[in-house]
Every structure is written in structure tokens, then in C-alpha cells.
Amino acid sequence: MRIESSLRSNVGENCQKNIEMNPREPLHLPILPKPSPGSVSSSDLLAALDCAPDGISITAPSGRYVYVNPAHCRMFGYARSEQVVGRSWRMLYPSQFRTRITRDAMPALKQVGFWIGRLPGKHRDGSIITQQVALRLLPGRSIICMVFSATERFEGGDLRDRLFALSQGLLAVADTSGCIKQFNPAWMTMLGYEAEEIRDHSILDFVHPEDRDFTWGKLVKLREGRPTRSFVNRMCTKSGSHLWLNWSASSSPGDNLIFASAHDVTEAKRAESAVMAGIAQACRADHQQAQFVAMASHELRTPLANIMLASQLLKNHFKELPEHLIEHLFGEIQSTIRDMTSTIDTLLFAGNVDMGRVDFRPASVSSVREFEAMIWSAVNQPSSRVVIVIREFAGEVHLDRALFGHVLRNLVENGLKYSPAPSPVDVVARVRRGRLSLVVADRGIGVPAVERRRLFEAFFRSSNVGATPGFGLGLFIADRAARLHGGSIRYRPRPQGGALFLVRLPMRREDHDKQDG
């Protein structure tokens, strides 16, 4: 941010002169809000920098000084900032000591945005002075440098507080084993730990267990002197939750130190997860739609061909065909149309129930005779293979007759289709204590154990069905119809072979009302 206009005040005179001398070297400082009553302006900030007892300087991206405070000048033996501003930082750091800067400091600034260490500097009189230096990368890639004389005593916490307060993300200095030596207050505010719970603990102690091996691999790279750019892991908070953090880290092999910074990307990861879940759902929907089209085409192609063949025979040979054959062909056409209508109804109902377009309308069934008639109507199978037993009927029953029909009819048809004739399909019903229980059991092929979790998915057909025709929608429809009652369907394998489905539906009107609410 250019602050020339702010500098044309009665404070910050030195920095103003520096910019006039170097008009192409903009001074980049953190963006400050518009001053309001009681706030600190840019001019006040520069005045404070001029009065600071520690050496403070700012270099432009080119490496030339655009600001040097009086304390910094005095440390290197210069009387005025004009003697330094506009010149490269190399004038203060002799060539034999620059390797430390290019090898350790610059990579750390690029990776994590800060660096702390000791640097030998060159006094104006030619002598070498040792200093403690803290560097921080500013917006626009300018660098602010804080210089402390190594002969003065600075506690680690003092140096940490001065530099680390500049960041809202996590900042840390650790040894190459990962033990945290210095850290900023964001560790406590973001993760919820006390300072003593962080200091001298391994950074791995705070990493999510599933991410520790991955993070340890990054530490190994840093120990070898290789910087690590932009890796993401989960850090555990004291409350038991976790945050997703994006880390950058660099090491200083000469000091046996690692410098690391991280910013919170939890919201971004959640948004990413939501997007990926949406993509996965869309892919599943596309896959199901493709399956639907393929199965519908297959199931409808054969009956349509039969109708076409019968109608052509009647059209071309009606006068030559005997009467009984004509009646047979008309009967085949009508039967095929009924089957196709049933198939289309099934497909439409499956689509409607999946989209939540089916309403739940319970009605009272008050006698065992009425209940038995409703079961036979739902089964809709005249086959002698279906055996219905009502073990108990205690109390009034409230059912959506259409939905109940879908539950029972699909389970019975499933049993008849996948069990050999003449083996029976047993239906056992019981009403007591406000609940309807139904058991539908067959002696068929059953379902392989590894596939049972997918049993009620749309279009799923187990691997052992062979060439038996079907859409894979019957159990899906039965399950959804049971759920609309507030009930459930469970599958149990039969020890002697076959499948057993247990249906439980709440039967009290108030239970349905709660479900609606």
C-alpha cells in the first residue's frame, strides 16, 4: 500500500524524504483502516517507529532500503537515514556473511513469511557487529527488519511477542525433532490450549492421529534442509474437534531450527467436501438414470415386440386365422399391456417416492377380517404358494393402504421370483402393543453377505440372480414405503436357506402424527 499522502504530515518526515529520493520504491505496509477518533493513523505509526529503541528498517522488493529508523542508523554508525535509504541491504552485511541470509533467511521468508536468527553486520567504521535479527514479509513482498544488539539481553518471549503479534495464523519455531520452542498467541486462541500445554511439546502431539505419519514425513524433509510448501493436515483442539490447517515450513540447519506458519482452511475444506459430495451424488444420479433407461428399454422392448407381432398377424391374416387363435392373440395383447402398465407404474412410483412426492395417508382397519382382506389384496397373488397367517390382532390398525400394498406385494413377489416352485412364501402378521410386525420368508437363493448392505438401493440386483428378469426396484420401493410409515425393513438370512424380511410399522395414530410433525 502506498502511503505517500499519509506521510505528508508533520510526522514521519524521514520516511517522506526517503520516498522523494526513491519515487519508484513504494513503501508497503499492512493496510490500515481509515483513522477514526481514538485510532492510530499511519503518521502516528511512523512516528512511533522513529522513536523505537530497536533498529527497524523496511526494504522494497528490489532489496533497497525505503525506510530506516534512527536506532537502526545508530547501530551501524550512521548519523542520518539519508545515508542508508536508497541503498541495498548488502552495504550493511559483508559478502562473507551473506550466505546465511540467502541460504536460511530468504527461503524461510518465502515459505513461512518470517525468520529469526543472528547475523553479523558491518559497522560504518569497518568493524563487525553481531545482531539478533527478526524478518517479516509484508504485503507487496517488502520486508520489515527488526534488529537487536546481541550484547543486549532479550528473553525469547520478548522477541516472540514483538514479531509473532504481526500474524493472526499459527507461527512457530521448533527444533528439528518437532519440539515447539516459540509460538504466537494464535495457538492458544485457535486450538484452545494453555501456553504450558504447548511449549516444549512435539507438534505431532497436536496433529490428528490419521495425519501424524504424513506430518512426520514433512518433518524428516525439513531436517534434511528441504523446505516444505503448502501441505494440509488436521490439528486437534482441546475441545476434541479439529481444524484443517495449511502449513508452510522452512528449516535453518545451522541453528537446528524449523520455522513454520499455518492458516485455517477449515471452511474451505468443508466447502470442498460439500462440493465433492454434490459431485458424487450427481454422478450416482447420472449412473442410476443410465441404469433406469437401460433397464426400462430392456423390460419394455420384449412386450412391445410381442404386441407388434400379434397385431401384425391379426392385421395381415385375420380372415385366415381360426377363431380360437384370434382370441388367443387378443388375450396375449391385453395381458402384455397389463404387464407393461404394471411395469410403468412401478417405474413412476419409484421415481416419485425417491423425489419425496408420495404422501402418507393412514386409514383405520378395525377388525381382523378387514385386516386379512387388506393383506390378500396387497399380495395380489392367487398362487397357492403364498401362505398367510395372522398370529394376533390386538387393537385398531392405521395404515396407508396403498403404501402398505407396495411393502407387502414387493416382498412377496421377491420371494416367489427367487425361490423354486412349489416352495411356499410365508407371510406372518402380528398386531400388538401399538406395532404391526410382518415376516415374509422364502426358501430361495438368499443374498450374498457382502452385498446385503446394498439390498435396498435403487436398481441393485445381487450377483446370484442369474437371468431372472427385474429392475432392482422392488425392495427399494418396499423400504421407502415402510419408512413413510415411520417403520423399517430388516433382512435376515435363513439357516436352512432363503431370505427372511422383518417389517415393523408403528400402528398408533399418534405415532404417525409424531412422524408427520
CATH number of the domain where residue 335 is located: 1.10.287.130
- Same domain as 377, residue 507: yes
- Same domain as 308, residue 433: no
Residue that is last in its domain, among 211, 244, 264? 264
Judged against a pLDDT cut of 60, whether residue 29 lies above it is answered with no
- Same domain as 344, residue 387: no
- Same domain as 295, residue 199: no
Residue that is last in its domain, among 354, 389, 405? 354
Judged against a pLDDT cut of 60, whether residue 199 lies above it is answered with yes
Higher-confidence position of 139 and 392: 392
At 324 the pLDDT is 87
Which among 421, 466, 438, 325 is positioned nearest to 372, based on CA atoms? 438
Q: Which three cell numbers stand for residue 219?
A: 518433518
- Sign of the dihedral defined by the CA atoms of residues 277, 282, 286, 289, in that order: positive
SS3 287: helix
| Residue 147, beta-bridge partner list | 55, 133
Rounded Cα distance between 439 and 390, Å, is: 11
Higher-confidence position of 366 and 438: 438
Let me know: does 1 contact 140? Beta carbons within 8 Å. yes
- Same domain as 194, residue 52: no
Higher-confidence position of 196 and 280: 196
Which among 11, 303, 249 is positioned nearest to 112, based on CA atoms? 249
- Same domain as 226, residue 106: no
Name the residue range of residue 258's domain: 168-264
CATH of the domain at 437: 3.30.565.10
pLDDT tens profile 383-424: 789 999 999 998 788 899 999 999 999 999 999 999 998 999
Judged against a pLDDT cut of 60, whether residue 330 lies above it is answered with yes
- Same domain as 491, residue 509: yes
The count of residues in the chain is 517
At 159 the pLDDT is 52
pLDDT tens profile 161-177: 555 655 678 888 888 88
Residue 24: band (very low, low, confident or very high) from pLDDT cuts 50, 70, 90? very low
Which among 112, 113, 22, 10 is positioned nearest to 67, based on CA atoms? 22
Rounded Cα distance between 294 and 300, Å, is: 10
- Same domain as 253, residue 222: yes
Which among 291, 347, 290, 336 is positioned nearest to 310, based on CA atoms? 336
- Same domain as 132, residue 26: yes
Of the candidate ranges 93-102, 242-251, 405-414, the one whose mean pLDDT is the lowest: 93-102
Residue that is last in its domain, among 290, 322, 354? 354
Residue 108: band (very low, low, confident or very high) from pLDDT cuts 50, 70, 90? confident
At 251 the pLDDT is 82
- Same domain as 158, residue 177: no
Chain centroid offset of residue 473 CA: 31
What is the number of domains present in the chain?
A: 4
Judged against a pLDDT cut of 70, whether residue 258 lies above it is answered with yes
- Same domain as 154, residue 55: yes
Judged against a pLDDT cut of 60, whether residue 467 lies above it is answered with yes
- Same domain as 119, residue 32: yes
